[in-house]
Structure formats: C-alpha cells, structure tokens
Structure 1
Amino acid sequence: MTKLQAAKDLVRGSHVALDGASPGASAESLAPFLAPDHLWRAYHPFGELTGAAALGRVFWDPLKSALTRIQRREDIFFAGLNQMDGFESTWVVSMGHLMGLFDQPWLGIRPTGKMAFLRYCAFYRVEGGRIAETAMYFDIPHLMTQAGQCPFPNQTAAHLVQPGPITHDGLLYAAQPEAEGQATLAAINAMITDLGQWKSGLPLQEELARTWHDDMIWWGPEGVGATYTIERYARQHSGPFRAGFGNRSKTTHIARLAEGHYGGFFGWPNFTAVPTGGFMGLPGSDTPGEFRVIDIYRRAGNKLAENWVFIDLLHFWKMQGRDFLKETTGYDHAD
C-alpha cells in the first residue's frame, strides 16, 4: 500500500510541476520526475517519444501555447499493480480533460478563442522513484469537432464533453481497501475473458448483461460517441462494431490494474481487426487495422457500471489509407 501511495505522490507532483510550467519550460519541469530514457506512447500523430526534452518540445510546449491558461480537470485517479506482468510493476492512472482557451493553432486545428477541452487518460509506470514510461491517450478528433472541423461522418451515438463518474468518487488519492480493487479487477477480467472475443454464443444483450449493469454508460470517443443502457449500447455501438469487423485478433494489454471501484487497461495495440463490413459510416476493406485503446471502468457491486473509452481512430484510419488529420486540417506530421 505504501508503494502505491508513493507512486501516486510522484505522479501528482509531476502534474503540479508540469501544469505550473509556462510554454518552453515543460521539459525542465518534467525532468526531475522522469527516468532519463522515459518512454511516452501517445495517439497519432505523436507515436512514441523518448526523454523529457522530446516530450516537452514536441507535445507539451505546443499544446500549452495553443490552449492558453491550460487547466487539468481530473475526474479519475488511482494506482495498482500490473496483472500483465504478475503484479510486479506499479502503475498510476489519471483521467480527465485538459481545458484552456484555444488561442493558437495546434496540429492545424483552427483556434476558436473559446474554451476547449482535450479529453485525456494517462497510465504511468513508476520504478525507482521516477516515471519510467507513460501511455497518454487523448481525443484529438473531439477537439477538432469543437473547432468546427469534425473529421468523421455522423456517429452512431453522441459525443459530449464527458463527465466523470456519477458517484463523484473517482479521485483515489488516499489508500483503498485491497479487496475492493481485487473485486474490480475480477469484474474487468470476467468481461474480457467471457466476452472479449465475441464468442459467448449468447444474444448480444444477454451476453452484456453478464458483466454490465442495465443502466451502464459507455463513454466512447469522437466518431462513435457515448451511449446509455445495455439496449442502446448494443444498438448504437457494440452491435454495429461486431457486424463491421472480422478476423479480430486476441486481446493483448501492456497494463491492467485496479484500485477501489476503478480499474482499466491499455494496449499498443490492444487488438487488430479487419473492417470487412465498414465502420463509422465508411466503406469496408480487407486491410487489418490496429486498435490502440484505453478503457477505464467503474464497478458497482459485482458488475461494471461506467466505461470511459479512448480509441486512436486517426491511427486506425491512417492504416486504412485515410489520413483524416491531414485531410481536415492540412497538418502533415511528416513535414
């Protein structure tokens, strides 16, 4: 427990230092908290970066210059040991929005001069008193839509500025009972093991009801949207998604952990699948695509109640030959 609390303190300290740093000082603020060979994984167009200097120069300084007076609005924070390596490594998770005044272009996205929200989730691996690696996923298409540059066709559900948990208890700064985290991880594993390969043999809604509350909320990314209740989730996302894809690979995760009533995982990628039947209103193909995904869950009782989902749809579609960021904003990360 002390180990997890020390890791939380380190990550919270890095947030305070980074959030208080001016554009141009991001790397300096991060350096005391990151390992020299720190690995940062993020959505298209960033990919992988190594070290504080690259992270500050490529991501944080330009973002802070674009979203002035930037503010971290954190909804979920927890830590845990990673099931994927036998509960050896320690990870800390932070999820919420980065909010600021959109005053300068970013990735070719036009500034609005108004408030804008960049939805994010970050997994931090802590080792030897430093952050050794980070997976930070964010919803760039949602920011594009706020700026009037929606890259995708109409989505099947609804995307809003997504709130935190209905219980308002997602910031687990204090230590939590170990049994609660074990119960949350068990609920997540049941969903993955029983349902994750789409082979339960049950009708979809019955399958979902095994591990989800009927009034579940699936907070999906821009391009898909959020949906409420098992019936609408089946109709507005899960059903169309399964119908649109074939040759789904096995699920693989780099980290999967839980604390209290919250847990989650990420992969790089989580799985691959072929959009044989089309996806998001776009035509199908026979080309496999990678799904880089973060899922964060809230458990209530013995079932899952809320799920915040981050999917790198820009990367997926780029593998299908569509560079939606470049098509919409003119930004080319190869320049």
Structure 2
Amino acid sequence: MTFQAEKALVSEHYAALAKAGAADVAATLAKRTSDDWLWRGVHPFHEQTGAADVAATFWTPFLTAMSRVQRRQDIFIAGHNGLDAAHGTWVISMGHLMALFDKPFLGIPPTRKIAMLRYAEFNRVADGKIVETAFFCDLIHLMHQAGLNPLPPQTGAHLVQPGPATHDGLLFGDSDPAEGAKTLDLIERMIRDIGRNSNTGEGSTPYDATPQDELSRCWHDDMLWWGPDGIGATYTIDRYIEQHQRPFRTHLSNRTFNGHVCRLGEGNFGGFFGWPNLTMTPVGGYMGLPAGPPADMRVVDMYRRDGDKLAENWIFIDMLHFLNMQGLDVLGRMAALAVR
C-alpha cells in the first residue's frame, strides 16, 4: 500500500503553516485537522484538543517570537502503525524549524540571530484529516542557543544536529514495503535487547551480555546517537556506552517500560514515540542532578538502518517534563531570575 494521500495532506499542512502568521494560524491549522484533533506537545504545552487550543498554546506564541520561519526537514516517512495497523496511518517529519529569534519565547530571551528548533512530529491521518499529533521539540537546545545553560555540563556534545549522513530521508514517493518491514523488525529486535539487558522492555528474560555485545547485535560500531540537549550527541558504540548508556543505567533505577503509541518503518528509516515511554527513579548523578522521585520520560526515537544494522538514531526527550516531575521547574526558575 502507498501512503501518497496521507503524505500529500501533511505536506499541504506544512506549506500552509509556512505562510501563516500569529493572527491567522488557528484558521490555518483548522483546515486540515479534525474538530477533536488530539495534539501532544512537550512541557509546558502538554495535551491540547482542536486547532484553537493548539494555536493558542504553541503556534501563536512561537510565530510571535520567531520571524521568517522555515521548516528544514531531514526525515519524512509514512506507514501503518506497527503496533495497531488497523487503527493508524501516520506521517512522521523530523528536522528543524529555523527562524530569526526576535522576541521572547517561553521566557527565553531573543537573540535576533538564527535559531534552530529541533523537532519530530508524528501525525495520524484518517478520513482526509489529521486527527492526532505528537510534536516533540528540544527547548533546552533552544535555551542553549540563547546563551542559557540551565543544567550542569552534559556528557555528550552540544550540536545543531544534522540529518542522515546519506541525505536520503525525505521519502515523498513510494518505497518498497519489504525495506520498511526490515527496518521495523530491526528496531523491534533492538527494543527487545534493551529489555533483556536492562530489566525493562517487553517481558524478555535477561541474558548475560556485555553492553558492547548487546549493542553490536543491532548497531554498527560507528553508530551516531544524536541525543537531546542535557545529554548530548555521541559517536561509536564505546562512546555511546560511556557518554549515555552507562550513566542512564547507573543513575536511574526502577525503570518501567510503559509502551509506545506508534512504531513504523519506511525504507531505511523508522521511529516511535511513547506518552510516556518510561518511568524511572533518579538515584543521584544523572545529568549531574541529585536523587529525586519517580519521573516519566516521553521520548521519540528516529532511526536510519544501513544494511542489517542501525547506523543513526535521533532522540527527543521531554526533558522539561522529566525535570518538572522531580521538582525542578526550569522555565519557572528562568523567569524568576529574569525579574531580579
């Protein structure tokens, strides 16, 4: 099956948004979304219903703060939800919203320079309308671009992150369904491996393997892990273990996998999101922060497959929500400091 109608609808939606301003963005959103459109956004946006609420919560403030906005897509894919094929056809877009940062946004001071807001968006399409959306963006990365450092130094690198090394992530046309199935199968095997070796996941029995052994089953040795700000990006299996996996598994306990809302693959690309994916208890040291109460991680993972292994992974975590559940209101602290 092809997904040209769904891809065309989302592409038209994006083209219309590119021409919209703060005053008319609600009407623009309403043209291609259902009346009961469910929109999920990172903290402080959370869940909204309908175009008017989505506009008031995110798009109007964003377009008021940012001028000359461009959507620079790196991945564009579509497919049936691998978790519920009968119930969902989804279109995924990932890249950056580039703009001139001219007015404050969420209390983040403007720079009057280029800003690159990392995003990943999942859109479920039914009956010719977008009926459900998950919009993840990296607000801590935006703060970092504005000269703010709201967290202790991270273990990985802070970068404006590129798209696929192969520059072939925009699948506007049709793809071989067999290739997408290979990608989704590999992603699912990788998820099972994580569960087996980290006491979370989909109910598999733990097995005796080193982190290198575990990762080498599904990942190329020169893997690229494009992590969210607060953690950062890392390169190769060994540096990924050092700069992300080991701190994650050492400093977060009682990890519970809550499942995903959508998983899909098309061609060599695939991804998933959860709401939330994980619940865990910080025991101290993670991202340089003290121990805290159980907290949720809402996560997007996007992947590029190269042959029979994964080569690149772009991660979006609702970090502000994760921190807020531990009593750290990053946006509130920033606002309080601004009035002093």
Q: Which letter does structure 1 place at the counterpart of 2:214?
A: E
User: Which residue number in structure 1 is paired with residue 210 of structure 2?
Assistant: 203
| 2:50 match | 51
* Structure 2: distance between partners of 1:37 and 1:278: 42
Q: Is the 8 A contact 1:107 1:331 kept in 2?
A: no
- Structure-2 separation of matches of 1:170 and 1:86: 23
1:259 aligns with 2:258: no
The answer to whether 1:40 aligns with 2:46 is no
Indicate the residue corresponding to 1:306 in structure 2.
Answer: 312
Measured in 1, the distance between the counterparts of 2:337 and 2:103 equals: 14
Equivalent position SS for 1:247 = strand
CA distance in 2, matches of 1:86, 1:308: 24
Q: Matches of 1:102 and 1:301 in 2, distance apart?
A: 40
1:136 aligned residue: 135
Q: Aligned ranges for residues 215-230 of structure 1 at < 5 Å? A: 215-230=222-237
Secondary structure of the structure 1 residue equivalent to 2:254: coil
Higher mean C-alpha displacement, 290-299 vs 142-151: 142-151
**Which residue does the alignment assign to 1:104?**
103
Residue number among 272, 281, 286 corresponding to 1:279 in the alignment:
286
Residue 250 of structure 1 and its aligned partner are, at CA, apart by: 2.3
Q: Percent identity?
A: 55
Residue 185 of structure 2 aligns with an amino acid whose one-letter code is A
**What SS does the aligned partner of 1:77 have?**
strand
Residue 193 of structure 1 pairs with residue 192 of structure 2: yes
Secondary structure in structure 2 of the residue aligned to 1:120: strand
How far apart are the structure 1 equivalents of 2:24 and 2:207? Answer: 51
| Pair 111,166 (structure 1): closer, same or farther in 2 beyond 3 Å | same
Q: Deviations over 1:71-116 (max 9, x none)?
A: 1011000001001114531000000000111100000000011001
Alignment length, in residue pairs?
Answer: 330
Determine the C-alpha separation between the residues in 1 that align with 2:67 and 2:226: 27
- Summarize deviations over 1:151-194 as a string: whole Å, max 9, x none: 11100010200000000000000010000000000110000012
TM-score for both structures, normalised by structure 1: 0.96
Q: 2:177 corresponds to which residue?
A: 178
Q: For the structure 1 residues 76 and 119, does the alpha-carbon distance in structure 2 shift closer, same or farther, using more than 3 Å as the test?
A: same
| Alpha-carbon distance between aligned partners in 2 of 1:101 and 1:329, rounded to the nearest angstrom | 22
Cα distance in 2, alignment partners of residues 258 and 328 from structure 1: 39
TM-score, normalised to structure 2, is: 0.95
Partner in structure 1 of residue 71 of structure 2: 72
- Corresponding residue for residue 252 of structure 2: 245
- Alignment CA distance shift 1:124-1:187 (3 Å): same
Whether the aligned pair in 2 keeps the contact of 1:103 and 1:112 (CA below 8 Å) is yes
Rounded Cα–Cα distance in structure 2 between residues aligned with 1:172 and 1:281: 39
Q: 1:254 to 1:331 in 2, by over 3 A?
A: farther
Match of 1:158 in 2: 157
Question: Does structure 2 conserve the Cα–Cα contact (< 8 Å) formed by 1:62 and 1:106?
Answer: yes
More divergent stretch after superposition (6-15 vs 85-94) = 85-94
Structure 1 gap segments, 5+ residues each: none
Q: Are residues 1:85 and 2:84 paired?
A: yes
Gaps of 5+ in 2: 199-205
**Structure 2 partner of 1:30:** 29
Given that 1:41 and 1:47 are in contact with CA atoms closer than 8 Å, whether structure 2 keeps it comes out as yes
Distance in structure 1 (CA, Å) of the matches to 2:153 and 2:302: 25
* Aligned alpha-carbon RMSD (Å): 1.3
Q: Distance in 2 between matches of 1:109 and 1:245?
A: 29
